[in-house]
Structure 1
Amino acid sequence: MDHDFCNNDGARRLKQRIEEYWRERGYQVDVKLVEAGFVAAMRSARTDVRSDMVNGFPTKRASNEREQRSAPPVTRGPLEIA
């Protein structure tokens, strides 16, 4: 197994693993890949993996479309919110 997560292929695999891990647990995580270009200290180009997580934990639950469609609309005054 290739453990280099700084190159483009490794970063893409890591992104998929993070998203799948949290999706299976009912969370939505937004992970982006950012090309950082050549880094002199590494003597190579790198790809950064960035997300909207805080301290390694997701900030929002995944929406369950089936529950939202089957639930009755919530009404408040003259407006109906579906």
Structure 2
Amino acid sequence: MNTANLLRLIVLAAIWGGSFLFMRISAPTLGPAVLIEFRVLFAALFLAAVGVVLRKRLDLRAHWKHYFILGFFNSAFPFLLFAFAAR
């Protein structure tokens, strides 16, 4: 592992750990559902921006059910449970 990869790993760990700290602080104030709505919204906006920069398009009409199920069970539902636990 070179220095650049180690630095990327440290930054990623700080971002990931910081999100749980933010959740612990803000869950009692905002409530778990609102907190997760904002978290998933920011992630969706970020991924949309990355898609625009990379000029990638998704066929949302053909696969919307798959994206919804994946987004719910892989992102929204687990983070909602984390927020309830942090409250």
| TM-score in terms of structure 2 length | 0.32
| TM-score in terms of structure 1 length | 0.33
Larger-Rg structure: 1
User: Which of the pair is proportionally richer in strand?
Assistant: 1
User: Which of the pair is proportionally richer in helix?
Assistant: 2
